[in-house]
Chains A and B, each alone.
Chain A
Amino acid sequence: MSVRNLVFAAGLALGAVPAWAQDAAPPSAAVPAIAVPQVEDEGLSGSVTDDSAWRDLGVAIPAFATNRDQPTPANAQGTGALGVELGRVIFNDLRNNGLFRPAGPDALPRPGYAQITAPSWSTWQGRSAEMLVHGYVRAESDGRLTVGCYLYDVALQQQLVREGWVVPAAEWRRAAHKCADLVYSRLSGESPFFDSRIAYIAETGPKDKRVKRLAIMDSDGANHRFITNGQSTALTPRYSPDYAKIAYVSYLNGNARMYVYDIGSGNQTLITQSSNPTFAPRWSPDGRWILYSMAAAGNTDIYRVSASGGTPQRLTDGPGIDVGGSYSPDGSRIVFESDRSGEQQCYVMDANGSNQRRISHFGGRCATPEWSPRGDQIAFTHIAGDLRVAVMSPAGGSLRHLTNSWQDEAPTWAPNGRIVQFFRTARGSGESSIWQVDLTGRNERRLATPVGASDPAWGPVLP
C-alpha cells in the first residue's frame, strides 16, 4: 500500500544515470515544499483559478525510460513497455482534467535512459512544449519498482523538480499519479489530487428494478472493483480518511441502515443499534467520528457516534428533516441541510450541535452541502426547477453554479478542493453517471465507469 518516497541528496551529481534511487529513505513529506497561495478567508470570492497562465503551458510527457528491459509483474512486455504506460497515465491525468496542454508518449520521441537526467534539449525545443516530463522505471530484485520523475523547463534548460518512489509492482499506476501530482503542483501552485480513490454506487437494470452496488476505483477510473453483489440496495458511500473503511447505507436487513465496511478484512459492522433507519453517513476529518441521520417516527435528526461504536450523541432536535452533515476541514463546524423553515436549506452548526444558523438565503433550495477540504467553499445541490451543482462561501455568499443540466446532485470534493464530482441523472431513463467539473465551471467531463454510476465520494490523497 505505502509508496516509499525517495529523498534526493542535495549535492547529487546529475551527470550520471539515476543511481540515487538506491538511497531509499523512510517516507517523508510527499511533495517538495512549494509556494502555495494562501487560502482565502471566508466571505472572499475569487478563489477560482481560471485564466491562470499555467493552464496554457505545453507539457511534453514522453515514455519513461528503463535501465534494462526486464520482466515485471506490472507489465507482460517488461519494464520498457511499462515506461510507455507510465507516460500515458500521466498524460491522461492531465488531459482528462483539462490541465495544461499535454502531449503524451504516443506523439513524442522516446528518450534513452541517460537522457532522463540530461535531456536532449534540441529534441524538445520547437515542439511548443514549455515543460518536459522525464522519468524512468527500474525493476528491483525484490519485485518492486523504482520510478523517478523529473520536470524540466525547456526554455531555461533547467530542472524544476524531481522525485522518486518505490512501489509494489501492483501499484505502478500510483507512481504515475504521484508524478502527475508533482508536475501539477509545481506548475499550478495547487495541492495534489491524482493519487486518490473514489467510492461510488454502480447502477444497472431498469429504472423500477435498479440494482445498486458499492464499488471503488482510482481517481482515473482504474483498478475498479465491486464490493457488494447487488442483492440489497447500497447507497451513499464515504471513504474513511485513511481509506481503510467505507461507511455506506444498505438495505441488507430490509430497511436503510448505516454500515461500516472494512476493506482489508471484508467484514462489515452495524455501528448503531437501533430499529430506526440510519443513513447519510459522513466521517469527521480525523476519522474518529461518524455523522449520520436517523429517522424516528418520521422525524429525522443528525447524530454523531464514535467510529468504533458507543453511545450516539444527538446534534439536532427540532421537528423537520435534518440530514447530511459535512465537517469543516478543522472538524470544528458542520454544514447540513434542514427543512425546518419549510423547505431544504443549508445550515452551519458547531461540531457539538450548538449555534445552528441558516446560511443559504439566495432562493431555491440548498441540499447535500459538502465542505471543501480547503475550507474556503461549500459545494451543494441547488434546487430551483432543475438540480444543479453550485458553490458558496461558508457564510452562504458568492453563489456560483458549476453545472447546468436537468438533474445534477451530491457534489464531492477532490482532495485539493479544486474539482467537484457529482452525479447526473438523465431525464426519462433515470440513468445516472458520474461527472466532474473544476471551479471555473468550464472543464466538465463524464467519468468512464463500467456501468451506471451515482453517489461519488472522493477520498484524500494517499500518503
Chain B
Amino acid sequence: MRKTALVMTAVGALALAACAKKAPTELPPAPQATTPVTTSGPMPTPAPTGAVPGTQSHFAQAMAGRDTIYFDTDQFNIDSQDQAALQGQAQYLQQYPNARATIEGHADERGTREYNLALGERRANSAKNYLVSLGIGAERLTTVSYGKERPVALGSNEQAWSRNRRAVTVLLN
C-alpha cells in the first residue's frame, strides 16, 4: 500500500511537471485572463528575448497561437487555417531538428467522457499526420488525448466549446 502510494506520488509529480510546460494558448480573451493577449499577425521571425531556442517556451512564443488548431463539432479534419498553423509548426521543427513534440488532443464538454477521449486522440493524430506529411519524422511526434478533461475556455457556450475543440503541439524539452 505505502509503496504504491509512493510510486504514484513520484509519477504524479512527473505528470504535473509535464503539464506545467503546456502552452498558454490564448486567442480570444479567456474569462479569467489577466494579461493582455496579442493576436497573431504576420509571422514573427525573431522570437522574443529570453526563451532558449528549441524549448517549449520559445516555441510557444514563436508560434503566437499557431501551436493550436481548432475543430468543428465532432470533426477532426485539417482545414486551410489548420494547415497554415501546422506549416508554421513544421518550419519550426525543421529549424530545430532535435526538438521533439507531443500533440494534445481535446474535445468540448458536450459529449460523453469516453467517446471524447477517443475523439481527442483522433484530433491529435490528424495534426500529427499532417506534420509528418510536411516532412517531420513520426518518431519525433507523440500524441495524448485529454478528451473533455482539460478545457481552456470555461464557459458553457459555443464560443468556449469552439476553443476547447483543439489540438495543441507542445515541445518536449
Contact = CB atoms under 8 A, between A and B. Distances in A.
A206 B143 CA distance: 25
A265 B3 CA distance: 11
B119 interface: yes
Given A208-B151, A256-B145, A298-B76, A231 B16 contact: yes
A428 B1 CA distance: 38
Interface in A363-403: 367-368, 381, 383, 387
Interface residues on A, range: 35 or more
Interface stretch (B50-58, B88-96, B121-129): B121-129
B34 to A, nearest CB: 14
Given A254-B144, A298-B122, A279 B12 contact: no
B112 A321 contact: no
B8 interface: yes
A106 interface: no
Contact of A231 (B12, B117, B122, B145): B12
A277 B121 contact: yes
A102 interface: no
B27 interface: no
Contacts of B76: 298
Interface stretch (A85-93, A168-176, A232-240): A232-240
A321 B1 contact: no
A409 interface: yes
B22 to A, nearest CB: 11
Contacts of B143: 298
Interface in A275-290: 277, 279-280
B13 A255 contact: no
B118 A321 contact: yes
Interface in B128-173: 129, 143-145, 149-152, 154-156
A360 interface: no
A321 B115 contact: yes
Interface string A331-351: 000000101000110000000
Contacts of A324: 114-115
Interface in A258-293: 265-268, 277, 279-280, 293
B102 to A, nearest CB: 9
B15 interface: yes
A427 B158 CA distance: 12
B74 interface: yes
Contact of B113 (A255, A300, A409): A409
B18 A207 contact: no
A236 B114 CA distance: 8
Contacts of A251: 15
Given A208-B151, A253-B11, A323-B118, A430 B113 contact: no
A174 B144 CA distance: 42
A265 B145 contact: no
Contact of A229 (B12, B74, B112): B12
Contacts of B117: 235, 249, 256, 277, 279-280, 295, 323
A367 B15 contact: no
B77 to A, nearest CB: 12
A279 B114 contact: yes
A280 B124 CA distance: 19
Contact of B149 (A206, A233, A254, A298): A233
B8 A298 contact: no
A17 interface: no
Contact of B112 (A256, A295, A368): A368
Interface residues of B, number: 40
Given A229-B8, A235-B149, A252-B11, A265 B1 contact: yes
Nearest to A337: B115
Find the residue from B5, B112, B114, B125 having the highest chain A CB count within 10 A. B114
A297 interface: yes
A367 B117 CA distance: 13
Contact of A367 (B9, B115, B152, B156): B115
B37 interface: no
Contacts of B82: none
Given A212-B149, A232-B11, A268-B4, A430 B109 contact: yes
B118 to A, nearest CB: 4
Nearest to A406: B156
A455 B113 contact: yes
A412 interface: no
A265 B1 CA distance: 6
Closest 3 CB pairs of A and B: A231-B12, A298-B125, A266-B1
25 contacts: A207-B151, A210-B149, A229-B5, A229-B12, A231-B16, A235-B113, A235-B149, A252-B8, A254-B14, A255-B144, A293-B118, A295-B117, A297-B125, A298-B76, A298-B121, A298-B125, A324-B115, A343-B74, A367-B111, A367-B115, A368-B114, A381-B112, A428-B156, A430-B151, A454-B113
Interface of B: 1, 4-5, 8-9, 11-16, 18, 74, 76, 109-115, 117-119, 121-122, 124-126, 129, 143-145, 149-152, 154-156
Interface of A: 206-208, 210, 212, 228-229, 231-233, 235-236, 249, 251-256, 265-268, 277, 279-280, 293, 295, 297-300, 321, 323-324, 337, 339, 343-344, 367-368, 381, 383, 387, 407, 409-410, 425, 427-428, 430, 454-455
Given A232-B11, A233-B149, 11 more contacts: A232-B15, A235-B149, A252-B12, A256-B145, A266-B1, A279-B118, A298-B125, A300-B121, A321-B115, A381-B112, A425-B109
